[in-house]
Amino acid sequence: MENDLNIAIYGEGILYPPNLENNLSSIKDVGWTSLMVSLFQVSETGDISINGTTIISNGTYTGDASWPQQLAGLKNGGTLKTLLATFGGWDSAFQNIQDIYNNNNNSFSGTQLEANSKVFRSTFPAFDLIDMDVEYPDGKPSNAQAAFIAFCEMWIEAGFGITFCPYEDQSFWVNSLVAIESNHPGAVKWWNLQCYAGGAGNQPQDWANAILAQLPTFNVDGYILASDWSRFWNSQYKMWQGDCPSAMQSYLGQFKGQKGVGGGFIWTLDQIVDYTSETAKHPDPATCAKVTVADYYNAVKNALS
């Protein structure tokens, strides 16, 4: 099973210039099969940014000129097979998306966001999939599902496949899959299930079974990636959270053998790389014995293979 595992990791600022070039070995030489570039946001006007840096505005790419080619190079000469762009996270992205949809007669057609999605496609041919991390810090609106389905279909029509990154509200995600599957069969390639933080306690097989309850013939074998977050200093709450590699391997081991599990992912590459410098400022009571990127990769691989 080891050779079939999809072992993935999310990365944030570490994946944008000038940081990306300095961390290529952590991505290309470790063994990852998928990399989620995070987090892309959408502004009130439909501009696209990543971690606060606007990269597409009014139909023009305004980001670092070297970045598209650097991203393309990640899939050359290493193990990386799939590159994903993750939209959302705990910010206003999906509320802005919702407002654009509502204010355009429940459609994205003709909006600046739609135009920018096409620029995104032409600028970043290296991206294979758009990863959807739907979070509404102020609460999910009543018509969120319709806007989300339309948002997914806009990206599908721009030429991308889709992945889901849920942590709660199982019916929202399953019903979204059902709707997208009816119009674009096979477009949602897999789910990145958050099994930590707000998703602690999630069992991938339960989510796979929920899909089968609505789509009895859908192939859920290996469709869901289990997950954990790496050890990090939470500056907002001034505390250590997440798992060392040994604890991660133990935690993810509970999912081994579940028919719906096709691998695992980690949140995030940035935290792993920053661990040593953070412990110098904030001693970690867990005192991880190993904290290299390779140690975390092996924790996922050993837990699930």
The structural domains of the chain, with segments of one domain joined by +, span: 2-304
* Mean pLDDT computed over 253-271: 98
Angle at 132 between CA 220 and CA 200, to 5 degrees: 70
* Mean pLDDT computed over 73-98: 95
pLDDT-derived band of residue 176, with 50, 70 and 90 as boundaries?
A: very high
CATH class of 2-304: alpha beta
38 pLDDT more than 90 = yes
* Mean pLDDT computed over 284-292: 90
* Mean pLDDT across the chain: 96
* Mean pLDDT computed over 93-118: 97
213 pLDDT more than 50 = yes
What pLDDT score was predicted for residue 3? 59
What pLDDT score was predicted for residue 142? 87
* Mean pLDDT computed over 193-221: 98
For 228, the 3-state DSSP assignment is strand
Give 1-5's long-range contacts (Cβ < 8 A, gap of 24+): 1/304, 1/305, 2/301, 2/305, 4/222, 4/262, 5/33, 5/262, 5/263, 5/264, 5/300, 5/301, 5/304, 5/305
99 pLDDT more than 50 = yes
| Contacts of 202 by beta carbon, 8 Å cutoff, 6+ apart | 167, 193, 194, 195
60 pLDDT more than 80 = yes
What pLDDT score was predicted for residue 289? 85
Report how far residue 11's alpha carbon sits from residue 18's, in angstroms, rounded to the nearest whole number. 14
| Contacts of 190 by beta carbon, 8 Å cutoff, 6+ apart | 6, 163, 222, 223, 224, 225, 262
* Mean pLDDT computed over 145-157: 98
305 pLDDT more than 80 = yes
Report how far residue 71's alpha carbon sits from residue 58's, in angstroms, rounded to the nearest whole number. 23
Report how far residue 131's alpha carbon sits from residue 2's, in angstroms, rounded to the nearest whole number. 24
Query: Hey, which residues does 86 pair with through a beta bridge?
Result: 131
65 pLDDT more than 90 = yes
* DSSP-derived secondary structure letter, 196: S
pTM: 0.97
Residue with tokens 């942590």: 167
Torsion sign (Cα): 271, 277, 283, 287: positive
Query: Hey, which residues does 162 pair with through a beta bridge?
Result: 130, 188
Each residue of 22-36: pLDDT tens digit? 999 999 999 999 999
Distance of CA 246 to the CA centre of its chain: 23
What pLDDT score was predicted for residue 1? 44
